[in-house]
Every structure is written in C-alpha cells, then in structure tokens.
Structure 1
Amino acid sequence: MFLHLDLDCFFVSAHRTLDNSLKNIPVAVGGRSNLNIFSTKKEVRKISENNGAFVSTILTNEGEKTFNDYFVDENGKIRGIITTSSYEAREFGVKTAMSVNEALKLCPNLKMISPNYPLYHELSQKLYKLLSYEIPLVEQFSIDEFFGDVRGYIGEEEVVEFAYYLKEKILKELKLPISIGIAHSKYLAKLITEYAKPDGVRYIKKEDMDEFLKDIPIKEFPGIGKGYQQKLQGYGIKTLGDIKNKKNLFYSWKKPGIDLYNRVCGINDTQLIQQRDKKSIGIGRTFDPIYDRQELLRRVIILSRYLCFIVKKSDVNPLTYAIKIKYESNTKSKNYVNVNRIFNESDFKAKMKTLFLENDIHPTHSVVQLNLTVSNFSKPKEFTYNIFEYEEDIKKRELTNKLQSLRDKYGVDIIKTASELKEKLTNKDDIIKKR
C-alpha cells in the first residue's frame, strides 16, 4: 500500500503555526521575483537542504515585510502573484497564479502575506524526518508532498487507522493540517489525495478502483498537461476510464504512452525515489525591462556567484554552461559552451560574461529575464589535460573552496567581486577588458 501526503495550503498553514490570528480568515501568500539578490543591501539568505523535486535552493525571508514594503513598487503599483491561498480565500475565487491585484478585487478583506521561505523549508524538513521515523520508505516529491511505502509494514485493514495516526501526530508536533490518499500504487494515491482534501483521509481499494476512475476527467490525473489532454481528446479519450480501454493505443506511443497507461491503471508503479540525481542546476530571474548593458552584465555575474555556490554545495562538476536571455519583445536568445576544466568561480564567471556578450543579439532592446544553467556533470579524474592547465585549475579550485567555506559560514553574500558593484563602463570593449 502507498500513502500520498499533501500539506493543505502549506505556505498559509506555515504562517498560521506562528500566528493564530490568521486562522479561519481569508489569507494568501504572494510572491514576487526575488530580485533582492541584485541589491547592495545586506540580506539574510539560506540554502535549502531539501532534495525533493520542485524545491527552490536560495531562500530569503520576506515574511517580516509589510504589504507596502513587499507588494507595492516604487510607482505605487501592486505587484506579485498568489502562490498559496487558504480555503476561506478560495471561496471568493482566489487562486494560485492569480495576480495579487486581482485577488484583492475579488476579496477586499484578503490578508496578504509575504513569503518566509526558510520557515517553509524548516517545516518540510521536520515533516520528512517525522515520516522517515514512522514509514520504512519515504519519497519527498516536493516541498509539501511525500509518498510512503508501507507494504509489509502496515496491513490493508490497518492502513486507514495508520493514516489518521500520522495526521494527528503531524498536527500535534508541527501544527500542520495534511490530506492523505491511499492506494495500491503511487500515482493513484496522489490522485486520491485530491478527494481527501481538505484535511482528510481517503482510501480506495484495488477492487473498487475501476469504478472510482471511470468518470474522472483526464485533466485531474497527475502529469497529464494541457498538450497531452488535447492529444487524448483527439482520440475521444476524456476520462480515466477511457484510458483503461485503450491499452494498444497507449502502448503504440512507446515509453511515454506506456508509462502513462501503467500509472493510470496502477501497473508497475511502486518505485519510490529516495534520492534524485540532478541532471542540471540553474538560476534565473525575471525583472522589469532593463536597457543598461552594464547593469545586465552585473546581474549575470551575481547570478553566476549564486549558481557557483549551489554547484559547490551539490558537489558536482559541470562541463556545460548555458545562458538564456529574454527580451521585452518576447524574443529569446540562448547558447551554451562546453568546457574541460575543474569547476571554479573565476573561470565560470568569465565564461558566463562571454556567453552574455556574444549572445545579446538585440543590444538595443530591453531585457526582462536572465537564466543561467550548468549540466553534463562529470568527475575531474575523467578529464584530459595538459599539465599547465591542470596546475592552474587546481589553484583556482582551492581558491573557490576557500570562498565556499567562508560563504557557508557567513552567508553567500559575505564576499563579492568588484564587478558585482554598480559601476559605469563606457562601452562594450571596456566590458570585455573588465572581464
């Protein structure tokens, strides 16, 4: 048997553990693109130790800021989107991804809260430890979702009672409400959780599953996005029951179709992932349009420093560096470079500067987004070097490791390079020389 555990309105619930006045009223947590990493002001930032999918890495506590400080920009405009809303707010139509401005029009009494990411990650880690003590195998699927494999540990006749026991313990120790779905496979348990909300437990026996699934719209199954929905509807497939009757069709689509069919039917869907191997690591920010290339270059360097810190924390050695530039016109430019060096901060920053300068294809257009990514992880002993490059890389790596130790102890912003400070360079040639 598998449990899927999903914290209810997690970000809101997290704030309610600290403030009882937020209970039983419309509340929402809103977010803005975390641009304070580009600020020269001192900020306290932490690095997440969570390993689940969809878990952000750089954590900033904005939770102590007032509504005006966080959601209102310098022009008096309300900014941000809803990331989580309470059930009381949802009754007014407030939804995730809705703009804060629109949410306040629907619910004028809505209590808007700025995010406290360290709090969310601390509670998530505590819940993971609690579940790991109670369940033999646990997978953290996201910051607020977990799978538990209780086969051979909890009998079918006891599994609902066990789920309620977990709910009570989580509420008592962490003050967090949680919904739990139970089934004979992972993704069916995840689907069932939606029918356990809010703050409930739902178990569907294997022999009752076909009846339960037959009329559920395909859009409700985890992993069936809008594009796949359109494809399925083209074949007359509208419900999960329709999928079960189309095995030959799905198997003709090879692995993607086979995997989806098996998940819907609960076939061979029993593998918990306890450690996810990262194939890439990235960081990016969206911001108001910027024409100033010196400022954009400064932001590339700051993002490079943060990404370098995350790479070193992850203990990987990337051989591919990539950049993506998005312009206000929605035009995009992206490119990558392959290297054969031991990863170090100075070389990485230099490569990212070059990638930006060479791929800024519209230098007179404003930029609204920068994304940096590293991938193709390898081990230093697998490289082919000439001896001079190797010795130089060893020295640079040692310097990077010393910087890493200081940032681990005092924060990622404790040491910055001169190129991260706001300065005016006269032209593109000067920027290249500065590199």
Structure 2
Amino acid sequence: MTNKMKTGRVILHVDMNSFYASVEMAHDPTLRGKPVAVAGNVEERKGIIITCSYEARAYGVKTTMPLWEAKKKCPQLVVLPPNFPRYRSSSMAMFDLLRSYTHLVEPVSIDEGYMDVTEHLHQRNVMELAKEIQERIKEELLLPCSIGIAPNKFLAKMASDMKKPMGITVLRKREIDKILWPLPVEEMHGVGKKTAEKLNTINIYSIKDLAKADEYQVKQLLGVNGERIVKRANGIDNRPVDPDAISDFKSIGNSTTLREDSDDERELYKVLEKLSQSVALRLSRKNMVSNNIQLMIRYNNRQTITRSRKLNNVISSEKEILAAAFQLFKKHWSGNPIRLLGVTAQDLVDKKESVKQLDLFSYEKDAKQEPLIKALDVLQSKYGESIIQKGIQNSSGKKKRETDINITTSFQKDFLS
C-alpha cells in the first residue's frame, strides 16, 4: 500500500478489543484465556454484561445480555464489577502512546480514537506503522486492538470493525463497492437499528441501496442525518481529525435502573434528586450550563418515553435541575411502575459565554452557592462521589445512606477529565 491515498490523507482508527475485560486480564494474568465478563450490579437480578472477552463470546455471551442469561450460557464465566479508575488509566496510557506518533489524535471514547498520520509517514509504509502501533499496545500495555486504515474517518472506522481481535484492515475508497456496499445497512457506522428500520420502509436494505438512494428522499425521512449517511455510504467524509473534539459536549446525563420496579413517588423523587446532583456536579466540572432539561422514564413493560423542557434562563445547580426534572415527571408520569429514570442537561453552553437575566435576589443566591458547588466538586473529585451522601429518614428517625441506587454515568464522554 502506498503511503498516501488519493485524498492526500491517511487516517487510522484504533479500536481496543473487549477493552474493560482486556484491562482486567492485563491486571490479573490468571484470567487470560478464561471467559471473562465485566458487569454492572454483579449481585443484582438486573445486572447486565458491559463487555466480555472473546472466550466468553464463544459461548454466546454478548454485551447488554442479562447476567443470569450469560451465566446460563457459560456457567464458568468469571464476572467482575467495573473498575473505572483502572480503565481510565489504561486508556490514557494508550492515547499517550498514540500521541508519540502524531499530535493529531482524536479520542472518540475511552477505548477508540482516530489518528491522522499523513504528515508523519515520509519513508514509512502505513501498514508497517499500523503493525508497530498494534504490537506496542500489546507488548507495553498487554492490550489487544484492531486498526482500520483509510482516507477518511468513516471508512477507517468501518475498516477497524472488519477484523477482530488484533486485525489490521485497509479500506480504499475505490474498494467500497466490493467490500462495503454488500453489507446490511444496519452494519454501517452511524445507522442504528431504528434508523435501519426506517430505511427499510423505502426499500433500503444494504449499504449499496443507501449509496444509490435519492438523497432528498432519505433527508425527508431522517432529516439532516439522512443527507450525511448517504454521503458516508459513498465513502465521502471530509471531517478532520480534531484533537480537541473530546471536549465538545452537547449534553450531560445520568440514568439508573431501580432495584425493584416502583410507583412510590417519594422513592422516585429521591432517585431524581440523586440524578440531578450528579448531573449538576458534572456540569460544574465542565464549566457548562444548560437551558433544556430532559427526563427519561422506562416503565416495567419496557415502554420508554423522553420529555424535555426548554428553560427561560440557563441553569446548572442541583436544585434547579431537580425542579425542572420533577415538573416534567409530575406532568408526564402515568402512575405505572417505573424501571428506569434518567435526567439529562441539554443545549449546553460555556458558563462564561452564557447570559442570564438575573434580578438582585437570584444573583445573590447564585453567588452564595458557587463556593459550595466548588467545594463539593473538589471533595468528590478527590475522594469519590460517595464521600458526601444525602440521607433519608428510616423508621427509627435516623438517616441512612442511599446505597440502593446505582448511578450509570456517561463515562465514555468524560473519561479524560
């Protein structure tokens, strides 16, 4: 393969294989070669598989599979709780290694990122470079990865998915009709199950169908995203590799699955309170404010609704987020038992750039709250979010910790913070 493609760019997509499980095996060599899974709520009936080793996949264990089902398929499955500090450390070491080749490294999530190596090849063959990166990650960090090589980010991402684990795949634009187009449209990066179902309604079943489709018709069906995915299906993607893209946040949200389905309003309010606290702290860390709060409710029959509320002024405090979320809850809750709740702050803007219509009293209140928010943030960043616990009264009148609510954070988005 030549060092430069016709576009003049050479992009690598580095995708870690079974990342959480691989990190655990790197940490504990006795786990190597065994079916290993990392699962949330390991002790709970509703625990699900977050990721699993390829040895576990051979038994039919899959990501998002309920833990009881995974153990049924693979009785010898080694199940571990997630260790996010360990994963963050391995992720940062991986990205540091990539940056030793070029500063044009764009993290996409904790376990994948793009590299633009165009200006750094010179006399080197790109395949040799990719092999060296893969081998160094394996030898120095004890972690497997797959690498896609292409003239743009979309094709590089598609290429990295084609050979796992430890694969290196080249996908040239002139090859997409033979390699990419025969694939089902739901296997295309950027097309989820629901989008694929919509595309099926206009007789688009393969990536080739999408590439040849009427762009206007697809745009009418899917909006702006329709135009984008038609171009991608034709191998067109002009996005640069942006090292700062990881700091762009459109929303910050948290959700949690309750231990038991509940229609107890007091209990549900407490869940919303804890979710709002977590969202507020993360907004504070990012120096962001929001003027749109979204509530997600999933009932015990799996029906899911999302409702949002546009606000007159930007907000960032726990109290304000909770008030907006609870107002949505009161308006849209059917009264049926709830399985999951989520709160998301949307339409984020930088705190310094926001303009709030403050009267004298609200200004004073905000000013007084700011030192408290910063103090909480420092404590929780240093000692963990459990260092400060809100309590609820038990029957004896004493406070107890709310340890029965497991918060799921958007760890993929803010792992570098």
TM-score by length of 2: 0.80
Quote the residue 2:414 is aligned against: none
Deviations for 1:70-106, whole angstroms, at most 9, x for unmatched residues? 33x4xxxx54222222222222222222222222222
Q: Give the drift of 1:136.
A: 3.2
Paired residue for 1:31, among 37, 40, 52?
Answer: 40
**Native 8 Å contact 1:28 1:85 kept in 2:** yes
Gaps of 5+ in 1: 33-69, 427-435
CA distance in 2, matches of 1:218, 1:123: 33
Match of 1:392 in 2: 365
Q: Which moved more, 1:303-312 or 1:313-322?
A: 313-322
Kindly state the Cα deviation for residue 23 of structure 1 after the two structures are TM-superposed. Answer: 1.3
182-191 or 206-215: which moved more? 206-215
State the Cα distance separating 1:313 from its structure 2 match. Answer: 0.6
Residues 209 and 280 (structure 1 numbering): CA distance in 2 closer, same or farther, change over 3 Å?
closer
1:231 and 1:333 map into 2 onto residues whose CA distance is: 20
Of the three residues 133, 152, 165, the one matched with 1:185 is 152
Q: 1:370: how far off?
A: 2.0
Confirm whether residue 103 of structure 1 aligns to residue 75 of structure 2. no
* Residue of structure 2 in register with 1:407 after alignment: 380
SS in 2 for 1:152: helix
User: Residue 240 of structure 1 corresponds to which residue in structure 2?
Assistant: 207
* Residue 317 (structure 2) aligns with: 344
**TM-score normalised by structure 1 residue count:** 0.77
Alignment of 1:94-173 (within 5 A): 94-154=61-121, 158-173=125-140
Q: Distance in 2 between matches of 1:14 and 1:21?
A: 13
Alpha-carbon offset, residue 110 of structure 1: 2.2
Residues 144-168 of structure 1: CA deviation (Å, up to 9, x unaligned): 1111111222259711000001011
State the distance in 2 between where 1:241 and 1:302 align.
47
Q: Give the distance between the partners of 2:152 and 2:231, measured in 1 at CA.
A: 10
Which residue matches 2:356?
383
- Name the amino acid aligned to 2:283: V
- Offset of residue 226 of structure 1: 2.5
Give 2:269's aligned residue. Answer: 297
Contact 1:181 1:189 (C-alpha < 8 Å) held by counterparts:
yes
Find the aligned partners of 2:272 and 2:346 in 1 and give their Cα distance. Answer: 18
Displacement of 1:285 in angstroms is 0.8
- Secondary structure at the aligned position of 1:94 is classed as coil
Inter-partner Cα distance in structure 1 for 2:389 and 2:38: 32
The yes-or-no answer on 1:210 pairing with 2:180 is no
Deviation, structure 1 residue 385:
2.2
Q: CA deviation at 1:269?
A: 3.2
Task: Give 1:373's aligned residue.
Answer: 344
The C-alpha deviation readout for 1:155-186, integer Å capped at 9, x for no partner, is 59711000001011111221101111111111
Task: Give the stretch that moved more between structures: 307-316 or 321-330.
Answer: 321-330
Equivalent pairs, count: 380
Paired-residue identity, %: 32
Which residue of the other structure, out of 245, 254, 260, is the alignment partner of 2:229? 260
CA pair 20-161 structure 1, distance change in 2 beyond 3 A: same
Contact kept, 8 Å, 1:29 with 1:113, in 2: the verdict is yes
